[in-house]
Structure 1
Amino acid sequence: MLIEKRWVRWVIMVSMILLSTLTKPVEAGVPLDGIAAVVEGEIILESEIADQLRAQVMKFSRAGEQVDVALLRRRVLDGAVMRVLRAQKAKQLGINLKDADVDGAVQRMAQHNNVSVEQFKMMLAREGVGFDSYLSSIRDQLYVQQIIRQVILPSVRVSDEEVQDLYKATRQDPEKIGGEPELRIKQILLSVPENALIHRVREISDKAKSLVSQLRGGASFARLASEHSDDPSGLNGGDMGWFKRGELQAQIEDLVFKLEDGAISEPVRTTQGFHIFMVAERRVQQHFGQSEGDHVKVYARHILLKVAPNSDAQTSAQVRNQLEKLRREIEAGASFAEVAKRYSQDDGSAQKGGDLGGFGRGVMVPSFEDVAFFLKPGVVSEPVRSPFGWHLIEVTKREEQKADTMDEAKKELTVRLREAKIKARYTQWLRDLRLSSFVDYR
């Protein structure tokens, strides 16, 4: 059950990066100039892509990013194409969703945000998201879950030797004297077709090198990811989320765990294409079995307004004042999660309502922990300064944790390895699906 919950959370994270595309069968009378693409007999309308593109441009504008709209449009369209193909394949596999399945998922999402379904609809409208499009994105999310259960999970196996090797690595790595590092990684992926000719591979390689030069020269990773990355995370600024040892391909893992924070990797060639990585953030998780006795774990969410470390006092004060206004809105009854989604500049948590999950001591920066571990649940902090900017913090739950035993550690590592294999095989499944399908871009 733990394994299933973990990969379902991953599916939700990946699926919600893109808004869903509504599709209709090709019919006579549909103006050709209104068609963005035809996907195995189903059409994607220009108006639908325009709605999604507008929402994406708005999101990047709020973060102060100026993006190439033409390049961003292609990324939005590619995501829409994959959703159509997933739905078609799911139906071929005999996966049929009921309206009750979709309605139940919407109700759970509304409950997660502590609002009614009607209030949740209004929240979406304020973000420029049509409710029909949101329902379609939920349907896509449910298709992904069922495809993974039916196609991917039966073929995934984790051996005792793999678990033992990872256990030794997490104990013996010199980096982990104080705990196990966990990295928040950003990626730009330039896909290479399986049968690409040498000159085409060279062109993509040269483009990857050019992007690395731009990034090292100060270009925005989020902007270039949104414009060029072929990975779904591109529309989230390239943010892939948090990773520990064993959750990435060995070739990639060896590279990123040696990168310094903020450093840009050289292009890395895999079967998917050329990858460019950056470690956006690093934290240390407690070793398995490290503590003797109990320790506190807090569950928290936050709103971050970024301030560069070298900003002057006036700029810092202005940002703090903005955050204080948001705090007053929340105290007046606004939803913390809704405010976080609209204003937080933490790409990794904003779309989850600022949710950081649970963490123990030594995970967050000291200034953040000093507040989080003393806040009472439900109380919103005063603005808190950290190296990243100004935060509002709310602790949602506190709990006492027992130290992990070796057996518990190995169970967790089994889950970690299994989850990584699920992700890798699902990614390859999507790649194969796209290569075997006919798509007519208009």
Structure 2
Amino acid sequence: MHNQPITTPRVFCVVAAIIVCMMSAFQATAQAPVQRHVDGIIAKIDNQIVLKSELEFSYLQYLAQAKLQPNEELKCEIFKSLVQDKLLLARAAIDSVTVEESQVTGELNRRIDYLSSQVGGVERLEQYYNKSIRQLKEELRKTIQDQLVMQKMQETIAGKVRVTPKEVAAYYNRIPQDSLPYFSSEVEIGQIVKYAEVSKQQKQEARQQLEELRKRIMAGEDFATLAKQYSQDPGSAAAGGELGFFKKKELVPEYEAAALRLEPGGISGIVESQFGFHLIQLIERKGQEFNTRHILIKPATATVNIQEAIAELDSIRSLIVNDSITFAKAAKDFSDDFATKDNGGMMASRAGTTYIPMDQVDPSIFFVIDTMQVDEISKPLPFTTADGKEAVRIIMLKGKSTPHQANLEDDYPKIAAAALNDKKSKAVDEWFRKNIDTVFIDIDPEYQDCKALQVTQ
């Protein structure tokens, strides 16, 4: 059974829905040839536009996710949200509201990493969309930049909005009893992860393999051909190792520093980074951007060292059980998983919260937590990460709910979040009403009768 939303969310990508919106952007790109016959500009907001295909895709996507029947009033609401999004971007341009390229790159990498982990690794993600990671990043960069700018604008408009317990209760009491959502069983799960360390011998073997390839290239063999044959970077190997143009601070520091020391056509020595060992060739510099190709060799998986990771996690578990350290502090200090260590070790659901519906729980730990008591910590559990690393983790079951209809006692944080979003939405709507005349807006006649849109005109 799927959880139902307490309120209808805005269509633009807010923080809680950012991954879903990203997946939608991938799918919209993949479906673009199918949509061309319905395309056309249906709204202009200064230099921003809303396409008919954009509205149709968002509308159908929402119907599918919410399991709703076609509804013209809902379609109008979605159109209004798209227009409001473009107004945010138009006002951001006027007010010089921008985000750093490094922030865009970091957010893009985080989302790609998350999606890769959800589908079983980078290779499966590329196979699913039939595109390289480089292509996916290039296509999504502008979308993510716009999302971050909109997020910054919304924070400026409604960032200081708060709700009191009285307002939360009033919001809950306004929801008809027969409209309250029914929540399936959810869990809160924490993890502390240790990767099996790569031995010096395994590192030396990877480095030696690259040294041999470098000798072959210096002797006249083609770099791109050898990259296709030997590189272990699934995102670039098929393209002869070519990464495309990047700006400074968009690649890991070790790689960038070695690449920028080269002249076009030059070959680096062996460069070690968090991804493994690289052999780099600088292809071209263009202003502040540079294009390289590389051969990546990863040290062999350190299966023989898995016992060391198990022993370390056993010791950490004992400290937590004996109240010598909290689980959250142990996660921050010792976990190798960057996605969870700064969040007290807590895993996140697809919606970005720590409450995970049981049907979204990783199958590899489903049966483990199903037999655990709340606050219990598992013994170390070996597993393989989405990118193929051998690792071990301990799991803590922080909380578990039974299926129930939403109520203030059990679901206060969710209802409070919904009440806060509602209040922020009203603050944003008020901002729109005050700023609607500050930009040029032209709506296609077919959509001018949309009642939802009239509140912003």
TM-score by length of structure 2 reads 0.36
